[in-house]
Amino acid sequence: MAKKPRIKVPKTAKSGETILIKTLMSHKMETGVRKNKKTGKLIPRKIINKFVCKFNGKEVMSADLHPAVAANPYFAFYAKATESGTFDFEWIEDGGKTITASGDIVVT
């Protein structure tokens, strides 16, 4: 069964307020240096190499990930609430596959 990413965006916020956004992605983060114990062959690298967070289509935060990052990468960051809208999260895996999630916020 595919595990889903967990995201936490506050449902409401006051205008100008600093909000904390948390994301937890379920991923094995295969480094590419491990060997298959039986065959001795390298297990190909498969990690999430990029994480992007957009607010109403505009990028607010992004990160490049490398093989030393542990499994199930967790990101927490702050943003300033200015208007209501949607946070779109995107995790890009080696090979180009993307996993997305989104969270809405109402700013009063």
Partner 1 sequence: MNFINNITRVTSLLGIASLLLAYTTNVSHSGSNPNPQGVNKMKSGYHWATAPTREMQDDDFSNPAFLWVDIGSEQWTTKDGEAGKSCASCHSGVETMKGVAATYPKYSAEDGKLRAVQHQINNCRTQQMKAKPWKWESDNMLGVAALVKNQSKGMPIKVKVTGEAQPFYNKGKKSYMLRRGGLDMSCKNCHMDYTDTRIRANILSNGLGNGFPTYRLKWQKIGSLHRRFRGCNKNVRATPFKSGSDVYTNLELFLTAHAMGMEIETPSVRN
* Contact set with partner 1 (CB under 8 A): 1, 3-4, 6, 8, 22, 24, 26, 28-29, 70-72, 74, 76
Instruction: Give backbone dihedrals phi and psi of 29, rounded to 5 degrees, phi first.
Output: 55, 60
Whichever of 31 and 84 has its CB closer to partner 1, that residue is 31
| 16 DSSP assignment | T
The residue whose two tokens read 């506050």 is 10
Mapped onto helix, strand or coil, the DSSP state of residue 4 is coil
Q: Which residue lies nearer to partner 1 by CB, 78 or 108?
A: 78
Nearer to partner 1, 29 or 65 (CB): 29
Amino acid at 4: K
Provide the minimum distance between the beta carbon of 57 and partner 1 in the complex, in angstroms, as a whole number.
26
CB 12 within 8 A of CB 108: yes
How many CA atoms lie within 13 Å of 99's alpha carbon, on the beta-carbon side? 19
Q: Between 15 and 35, whose beta carbon lies closer to partner 1?
A: 35
Minimum separation from the CB atom of position 103 to partner 1 (A): 13
